[in-house]
Amino acid sequence: MSSSFKAPAEAAKAVAATGGIKNNSPIVNLILLSFLAGAYIAFGGLLAEITNAGMLAAGFPVGLSKFAFGAVFPVGLMLVVIAGSELFTGNVMYMVMGCLNGEASIGGLARNWIVSWIFNFVGALFVAYVLAYLGGVVADPTISAGAMTVAETKIGLSWDQAFIRAIGCNWLVCLAVYLAFASDDIIGKIFGIWFPIMAFVTIGFEHSVANMFFLPLGMFLGAEGVTWSTIILNNLIPVTLGNIVGGAIFVACIYYFVYVRKS
């Protein structure tokens, strides 16, 4: 009888093979799909901002508002995985496993990571500035105040805090992608994605691509201390590095060693 899911070893091999496919992706495809991934994550972030503002305005406890924030944010990764796109944080896992298994090269990894990071930023900025800010979606004072608070809080993290929180984030993000790979049907992929992403957002971990939306949006709205220099230096650099550690070591390397490595 056929199964609707892959065993862990089968999922690991499929992830490594995907790294090989991404290694050979045409540059135009990589650019366009990276733009889409940044926009998709930003859609989830924008929905989370609006939901959180409504919860706080209604007087719900902080824990419940954080859960609501985390509960709706996963729509972004669902779009990334199911519709197809190039997300930097997921590509950390794909490309490392592909390289370890000999299906991708270090040059291909660098190309994929650099291009996906840059154009994820472009896609996230498009949603933050054009759709959210110019479109007036965040014009409501409660929503704009919440968005500014999110940005100011993230900028206020120390380098160590941002780095450590980013490790936990991409550990869970890559597990969400891994679980989606394990399922062969859409509903299974949605559930596989929802739980780990809800967990990382509710906990308060740091995702570099999500922050490419949250921080510029806060800056556009006038958040205190949020500038291009603080966005890059205080947050995106340590968070990107932590995301690499979380996805590469705690998911890609361990699952490669256990399930894919040739005996």
Say if residues 41 and 80 touch (Cβ distance below 8 Å).
yes
DSSP one-letter string for 151-177: HHHHHTS-HHHHHHHHHHHHHHHHHHH
Tell me if 188 sits within 8 A of 5, measured CB to CB: yes
Check residue 3 and give its pLDDT. 67
At residue 59 the predicted structure's pLDDT band, cuts being 50, 70 and 90, is confident
What's CA 5's distance to the chain center, in Å? 24
Report the alpha-carbon distance of residue 251 to residue 200 in Å, rounded: 15
Record the pTM: 0.95
Predicted local distance difference test score (pLDDT) of residue 2: 52
CA within 13 Å, CB half, 257: 7
Q: Does pLDDT of 1 surpass 60?
A: no
By the 8 A CB rule, do 65 and 143 touch? no
Question: 150 pLDDT exceeds 80?
Answer: yes
Q: Yes or no: say if 259 and 17 are a contact pair by the CB < 8 Å rule.
A: no
* Mean pLDDT confidence for 160-170: 98
Q: CB–CB of 163/205 below 8 Å? A: no
Other beta carbons less than 10 A from residue 21's beta carbon:
12
Kindly report, residue by residue over 235-245, the tens digit of the pLDDT. 999 999 999 99
Q: Which CATH architecture has domain 8-260?
A: Up-down Bundle (1.20)
Token pair recorded at residue 89: 């944080």
What is the rounded average pLDDT for all residues in the chain?
95
Longest dimension (CA), the chain: 60
The answer to whether residue 79 scores a pLDDT higher than 90 is yes
Indicate whether 103 pLDDT > 70: yes
Residue type, 105: S
